[in-house]
């Protein structure tokens, strides 16, 4: 199989800093002590996903990176903060627990530029992407204690500031021990595109 037909599971994301990884680790420990069981995000894997592309041809990933470089080079450096612990639920069960993000209009504008880059590359983007709710996944929950909503409400997070000066395209390889992420492209707001070998 030549490279043109090869595809990889990919996503577009922002990196976080060590303080966020420490908060994630701390939040997981608190949840486990409360009786939650789940598939927890490994601190070294945590990132802010802007768009999950799924299986994408390598040639298409390169095209998307070039489109993003055209649209994002010159974008202003900004920061986002963690602001709460939240969840997505199905009926009365917390499917996913997450750390909420506050990034203001600048983060929304960056997300819009990423979506425009995908559309210009011929990627079908669902309308639900207009409803962007930035968050960091803490874990997918398998078992929750009674009164789990009250327990989550007492959790608070330190307001850490995370500077943003680049967007990354990652490949994601699923393994028995969890996903392995590899940075493929970095689109630096000032320096343009960097290909990560």
Catalytic residues: 47, 135
Nearest CA among 138, 135, 118 for reference residue 126? 118
Task: Give the number of residues written for the chain.
Answer: 197
Q: Which residues, in sequence order, are CB contacts of 103 under 8 Å at separation 6+?
A: 78, 79, 80, 81, 134, 164
Residue 84 contacts residue 102 (beta carbons within 8 Å): no
160-181 core/surface letters (b: 16 or more CB in 10 A; e: else): bebebbbbbbbbbeeeeeeeeb
């Amino acid at each position: 199989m030549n490279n043109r037909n090869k595809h990889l599971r990919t996503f577009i994301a922002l990196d976080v800093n060590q303080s966020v990884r420490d908060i994630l680790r701390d939040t997981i420990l608190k949840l486990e002590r409360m009786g939650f069981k789940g598939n927890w995000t490994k601190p070294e894997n945590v990132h802010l996903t802007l768009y999950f592309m799924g299986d994408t041809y390598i040639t298409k990933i390169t095209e998307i990176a070039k489109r993003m470089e055209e649209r994002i080079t010159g974008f202003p450096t900004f920061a986002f903060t963690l602001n709460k612990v939240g969840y997505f639920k199905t009926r009365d069960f917390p499917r996913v627990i997450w750390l909420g993000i506050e990034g203001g209009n600048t983060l929304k504008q960056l997300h819009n530029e990423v979506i425009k880059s995908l559309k210009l590359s011929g990627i079908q983007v669902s309308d639900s992407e207009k409803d962007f709710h930035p968050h960091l996944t803490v874990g997918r929950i398998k078992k929750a204690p009674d009164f789990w909503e009250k327990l989550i409400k007492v959790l608070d997070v330190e307001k850490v500031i995370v500077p943003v000066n680049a967007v990354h395209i990652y490949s994601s390889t699923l393994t028995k021990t969890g996903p392995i992420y590899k940075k493929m492209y970095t689109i630096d707001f000032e320096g343009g595109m960097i290909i990560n070998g």
